[in-house]
């Protein structure tokens, strides 16, 4: 195996006060883990959560990253 996916957390439940999807990739040959963060359309996600009546606590967590 040359690469493996490392899950440093979950998408949509940020705890770092940084809104976005975070993931990591392990390079076995180099024995290194590289961390990445990608943005996504937060406004569209929150609008969908409101339509489906998600709890306000979850919406706030996405907005604030806490």
User: Which of the four pLDDT bands, split at 50, 70 and 90, describes residue 38?
Assistant: confident
Q: How far apart are CA 5 and CA 45, in angstroms?
A: 25
What does the pLDDT read at residue 1? 66
User: Which of the four pLDDT bands, split at 50, 70 and 90, describes residue 28?
Assistant: confident
Q: Contact 28/1 with Cβ under 8 angstroms?
A: yes
29 vs 66: which has the higher pLDDT: 29
User: Which of the four pLDDT bands, split at 50, 70 and 90, describes residue 12?
Assistant: low
What does the pLDDT read at residue 43? 92
What does the pLDDT read at residue 53? 98
């Amino acid at each position: 195996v040359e690469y493996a996916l490392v899950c440093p957390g979950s998408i949509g439940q940020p705890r770092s006060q940084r809104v976005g999807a975070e993931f990591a990739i392990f390079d076995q040959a180099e024995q290194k883990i590289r961390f990445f963060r990608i943005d996504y359309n937060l406004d569209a996600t929150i609008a969908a959560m409101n339509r489906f009546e998600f709890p306000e606590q979850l919406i706030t967590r996405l907005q604030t990253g806490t």
